[in-house]
Amino acid sequence: MTQLKWYPALAVISASLVLLGCQQQSGEGQQNTEQQANASRPAPAPEQQDLTPAEAPSGGSAEKYFQPPREIPNDEFGKVVRQGELIFTNTPTYAKGYSGNALSCVNCHIDKGRLANSAPLWAAYVAYPAYRSKNKHVNTIQERMQGCFRFSMNGTPPAADSPEMTALVTYAYWMAQGAPTGEKKMAGRGYPVLKKPASVNRERGAKIFASSCAVCHGADGQGQSVNGTTVFPPLWGPQSFNWGAGMHRVNTAAGFIKANMPLGQGNTLSDQDAWDVAAYVMDQPRPQDPRFKGDTAATDKEYHDHFCYYGEAGALPRQAKK
């Protein structure tokens, strides 16, 4: 118990680190970059001013992202936006019954879903409806969010017309105001794609985990909570995302980790370190894929044709599929 005492302090420290990180990415530093960029090329058309050229490298300083609004209106519409923000930032409390673990949406969509390269909601909202190969049909934004409930939250999705889903979609719609409807490639969408190194080494990853991650997520990866509220989210185990979630793919996790972890110090790990530590973390036990067909090999064949370590702990040879 005594050990727990310093975690709230650490949470405050890490929260301010996040703020610092955000300011670096979207605050004054960015304005300088903006001025430099604008000095060397003609002024963009007004509707393009907030967009980075799609080819801009992610994580560098010369980037420019869409800036979502800050002020939520004080009216009936705004009330629902606020409800969506509450669900997004504290899912177990505000979407009770739908969420099946200790995670909240914000744990993987950082800064309330606003941060570029952390699968921000403003870039997602304008990209749906879209065909997804994961389920082989056109998905609405509601269905996309339901997917995160089923897999990332290891839960039962709220219905498309439920108050919870309406609040989440309203929140995303509000955040995306002014973004171009139908644009599938807004700069900062999703997580950055990291080129796969020649070899990925989980043993090296374990060492990186111990030195750079365990302080917050715990040596056992189970995270930390204070009075039942998650302060540092679990990375594996019964309270984390399940084997169907996008984050269990080593490439997706490597991109997320590179851009966002250690929290407040995004883009400090080398690509190799990000891949190695992602491989270590994604090679740990977690809840079964809800699409489980009663047979690990069959489920693996049908749904896991990507770089991952799917299999209940010990059930599959513990080696990666490429």
Length of the chain in terms of residues written: 322
Question: How crowded is the C-beta side of 46, counted as CA atoms within 13 Å?
Answer: 1
Least Å distance between CB 145 and ligand HEC? 4
Pick the stretch among 55-63, 70-78, 106-114, 314-322 that binds ligand HEC (CB under 6 A).
106-114
Nearest to 109 by CA among 138, 145, 142: 145
30, 139, 252, 296: which one binds ligand HEC (CB under 6 A): 252
DSSP state of 208: H
Largest CA distance in the chain: 61
179 near ligand HEC, judged by CB under 6 A: no
21, 92, 109, 116: which one binds ligand HEC (CB under 6 A): 109
Rounded (5°) CA angle 244-248-252: 120
Quote the CA–CA distance of 322 and 306 in Å, as a whole number: 6
262 near ligand HEC, judged by CB under 6 A: yes
Quote the CA–CA distance of 119 and 175 in Å, as a whole number: 13
Least Å distance between CB 203 and ligand HEC? 15
Quote the CA–CA distance of 164 and 245 in Å, as a whole number: 21
Residues 34-93 that bind ligand HEC (CB under 6 A): 91
126, 247, 254, 308: which one binds ligand HEC (CB under 6 A): 247
Site mask for ligand HEC (CB under 6 A), range 1-30, x = bound: -------------x----------------
Helix (H), strand (E) at residue 139: strand 137-139
User: Residue written as tokens 């990291």?
Assistant: 194
Q: Which is nearer to ligand HEC, 68 or 234 (CB)?
A: 234
DSSP state of 290: T
The answer to whether the beta carbons of residues 179 and 186 sit under 8 Å apart is yes
Quote the CA–CA distance of 178 and 67 in Å, as a whole number: 9
72, 160, 206, 215: which one binds ligand HEC (CB under 6 A): 215
Least Å distance between CB 273 and ligand HEC? 8
233 near ligand HEC, judged by CB under 6 A: yes
Pick the stretch among 23-31, 119-127, 285-293, 298-306 that binds ligand HEC (CB under 6 A).
119-127
- Cβ neighbours of residue 178 closer than 8 Å, sequence gap 6 or more: 50, 66, 69
Site mask for ligand HEC (CB under 6 A), range 287-316, x = bound: ------------------------------
Which neighbouring-strand residues pair with 226?
229
Q: Which is nearer to ligand HEC, 55 or 75 (CB)?
A: 55
Contacting positions for ligand HEC (CB under 6 A): 14, 91, 103, 105-110, 119, 123-124, 127, 144-145, 148-149, 152-153, 168, 189-191, 212-213, 215-217, 232-235, 240-241, 245-247, 252-253, 257, 261-263, 269, 277, 281
